[in-house]
Each structure stands twice: as C-alpha cells, then as structure tokens.
Amino acid sequence: MTKKIGTLIEEDIMRLAKRRAVEEGRPLSDLIQDALVEYLQKRAATPKDREMAYRLFCEQPMKLTPEQLRQVLEEDMREL
C-alpha cells in the first residue's frame, strides 16, 4: 500500500533527483523511495550490533582522558 506524503526538499536536490529519474527512465517517487529504503537499511542496527554496543559501552568503564571527556561534553553542548 502506498501513501502520499508532503515534504520540503532543497530546490537543487530536487532538480538533481528529477534529472536522475529521467536518466534512469523511472518515476521520481520510485527514486526517492529507493533512496529512503537504502538509507534506512544502512542505519538499521541488528540485534548483534546492539548487543556488542551494550557490552562495549555499558559493561565496562570508559577509558577517556579528562581532555577527551571535556571535548565530548563541549560537543554535546554545541548541538543543543
């Protein structure tokens, strides 16, 4: 089942996407859907990945120098 959505995309990105769809001879919606599927598959963590991350970050103390910790905290503050 498909669903119609509305979103804002930068004009230059849309122009490139339309050009690529024409070059490939397919609808723009297919190109966008394929790009989104590929992105989501790359970002999906497997249960094994999550287990490994848990063990790495939660089951042992982090070995950061005071300077590294300060950099991490400053970086997080800039993102707020």
How do residues 30-39 score in pLDDT, each as one tens digit?
999 999 998 8
- Quick one: pLDDT band at residue 27, thresholds 50, 70, 90? very high
Q: What's residue 79's pLDDT? A: 54
Q: Which token pair is 45?
A: 């963590």
Please report whether residue 51 resides in a domain. Answer: yes
Please report whether residue 26 resides in a domain. Answer: yes
Please report whether residue 2 resides in a domain. Answer: no
* φ, ψ dihedrals at 44, nearest 5°: -75, 125
Domain that holds residue 27: 11-79
Which residues in 38-50 are b (16+ Cβ under 10 Å) and which e? eeeeeeeeeeeee
pLDDT digits (tens, 9 = 90+) for 49-70: 888 888 887 887 777 788 888 8
pTM: 0.53
Please report whether residue 40 resides in a domain. Answer: yes
Please report whether residue 28 resides in a domain. Answer: yes
Q: CA-CA distance, 55 to 16, in Å (whole number)? A: 42
Please report whether residue 4 resides in a domain. Answer: no
Domain count, the chain: 1
